[in-house]
Amino acid sequence: MEQGLPEFGVCNLGHFVLPTFYNEETNDVNWADLERAIKAAVRLQDNIIDYTDYFLEENEKIQKAERRVGIGSMGLGTLLIRMGLRYGADDGNEFTDKLYKFIAYHAYKASVELAKEKGSFEKFEYDKFIQSGFMKRMLSEFPDLDEGLRKYGIRNVTLLTQAPTGSTGTYIDNIPGFRNKFGGTTTGIEPYFSWKYWRAGRLGMAEQTVDLAQEYLDEHGLSNISELPRHFITAMELSPLEHVKAQAAVQKWTDSSISKTANCPRDYTVEQTDELYREAYDLGLKGMTIYRDGSRESQVLATNEEDAKLETHVEADKLKKLKAEAIAKSSEEVSQPTPTIKKVPARLYGMREKVKYHSDDKVRKAYVHIYLDEGTPVEVWVEPTEVADKDLADALGRMTTQFLRFGATENNVDQAVKHLKKGKSMFSLPTVVGRLIEQIYYGKIEMPTFTNDDKPKQFEFQKCPECGEKAYDKGNCICHACGKSNCN
């Protein structure tokens, strides 16, 4: 999910765990409890804006002028199963529309009440605020909001964001109290991926199971998941169009960003993709994500352990393979060892990148020049726009160049990148330079190629103003026919 923000913009995100509002006796949502939670969430998220210690002054200035928050949810898939409603079908979408309409109304009502108490956000202008398609829909459905907006304004420029909540949802799902009570919690507005699956993480692979499905099988004396009723549905069992319709039901009542994936089978065609995007456009989606099964080497969730991989795992496997090939090659050529230090050609090609970095709690700019020899970075120069950082940048470029050329390790580039990043913040100048070198070396930044077929521009003599012959060499300021020279 990408949250739409202005320059230096900030958005506080918070999420309801929807199954906590399920009332088993009525097989419905406890609407009174949800309303109280919405009011508390809006006030909490708004208070966080004032209590936050901002890293950058620009962030604080923008956030306190807009007071942007994003209240969302997780566990929609769990809640629908509990209620016996099928995710993506008409009955499920009808309830989803009702639920998120309720959340939107009470969130906006709470923000207007906060504006009455504390004042509206600094940039609020009623006439401009109500011009969006979302606000036109809100005021059409809830005309009672208009009086408060006119009189008091609203406390927050946006209120609703449906984030993916992958890490948060997984964390909650591993709390015994929640897991025992709900049988598992789906992340964001997604359904369950599968009743049993593998999740790739930084610490390795972990098998995840959904207790909710097993509980139903045990309770009804069933032995196979194929015997589960229609409202037990997983992401891969839904059609792509059902995914899109489910997103449309939530997006209708979401004023900011939304995260939702339409899972497609491996044989999904370009024509079907085109049709799905057109359907999404007709349903009013701001944007959408399609994931065709097996289309990427890395896949966070998978039905078997071998397919569950992060991008870092894939990169590590590639690096391992490259190192193994290099070791094998060096052992073959041991009789003819190559010198550690290679003379750099007189002419190098490379690139210049304009980057941003943090220095003295400020965002500054620099130009990083990186030159390559046969695809390997061998020379680095750093030019900061801030005079105070010039000596640091000059030393950084020179020492990095020395390491790249004379490191005498198995892989000088890897070692240089490792030491540039080690112990530094992700936006420090050494880390930014290291990341750029790494992206170039591993082909994440495509470099132009130069071959011997590239012909230089042909030199031509000009007409001599003295003798009229086409023999005047302007560069050397002399006519090779009559000897005329303007320089003398």
Domains in the chain, start-ordered, CATH in brackets? 1-315 (3.20.70.20), 349-441 (3.30.390), 456-488 (no CATH)
Mean pLDDT of the residues in the chain = 84
Q: Mean pLDDT across the stretch 335-363?
A: 77
Calpha distance 328→335 (Å, rounded): 13
Q: What is the pLDDT of residue 200?
A: 57
Calpha distance 344→324 (Å, rounded): 26
Query: Does pLDDT of 76 surpass 70?
Result: yes
Q: 444-487, pLDDT tens digit by residue?
A: 887 776 554 444 455 577 888 888 888 777 777 778 777 777 77
311 band by pLDDT with thresholds 50, 70 and 90: very low
Question: Residue 391: which H helix or E strand, with range?
Answer: helix 390-406
Q: What is the pLDDT of residue 302?
A: 54
Q: In degrees rounded to 5, what are phi and psi of residue 263?
A: -80, 130
Which among 180, 194, 132 has a CA at the least distance from the CA of 160?
132
Query: Does pLDDT of 343 surpass 60?
Result: yes
Query: Does pLDDT of 203 surpass 70?
Result: no
Higher pLDDT, 189 or 264: 189
Q: What is the pLDDT of residue 336?
A: 46
Query: Does pLDDT of 310 surpass 50?
Result: no
Q: What is the pLDDT of residue 69?
A: 96
Q: 3-39, pLDDT tens digit by residue?
A: 888 899 999 999 999 999 999 999 999 999 999 999 9
2 band by pLDDT with thresholds 50, 70 and 90: low
Calpha distance 315→468 (Å, rounded): 66
Q: Are 436 and 454 within 8 A, CB to CB? A: no
Taking the CA atoms of 405, 407, 413 and 418 in sequence, report the sign of the dihedral they define.
negative
Q: Mean pLDDT across the stretch 231-236?
A: 90
| Strands 301-302 vs 289-292: parallel, antiparallel or unpaired | unpaired
Tokens at 426, concatenated: 């992700």
Tokens at 261, concatenated: 């994936």
Q: What is the pLDDT of residue 291?
A: 85
| Helix axes of 144-152 and 133-141: crossing angle, nearest 10 degrees | 120
Taking the CA atoms of 405, 407, 411 and 412 in sequence, report the sign of the dihedral they define.
negative
Query: Does pLDDT of 269 surpass 50?
Result: yes
Q: What is the pLDDT of residue 183?
A: 66
Tokens at 239, concatenated: 């059609």
Q: What is the pLDDT of residue 116?
A: 97
Question: Residue 291: which H helix or E strand, with range?
Answer: strand 289-292
Q: Mean pLDDT across the stretch 355-361?
A: 86
Q: In degrees rounded to 5, what are phi and psi of residue 159?
A: -130, -20
Q: Are 302 and 198 within 8 A, CB to CB? A: yes
Q: What is the pLDDT of residue 87?
A: 96
Calpha distance 484→488 (Å, rounded): 9
Higher pLDDT, 287 or 23: 23
Q: Are 229 and 238 within 8 A, CB to CB? A: no
Sequence-ordered list of residues with C-beta below 8 angstroms from that of 109, at least 6 positions apart, any chain: 145, 148
Residues in the chain, overall count:
488
330 band by pLDDT with thresholds 50, 70 and 90: low
Q: Mean pLDDT across the stretch 35-57?
A: 95
Higher pLDDT, 349 or 83: 83
Higher pLDDT, 131 or 310: 131
Which among 160, 132, 154, 145 has a CA at the least distance from the CA of 284?
132
Which among 198, 218, 217, 219 has a CA at the least distance from the CA of 207?
198
Q: What is the pLDDT of residue 339?
A: 44
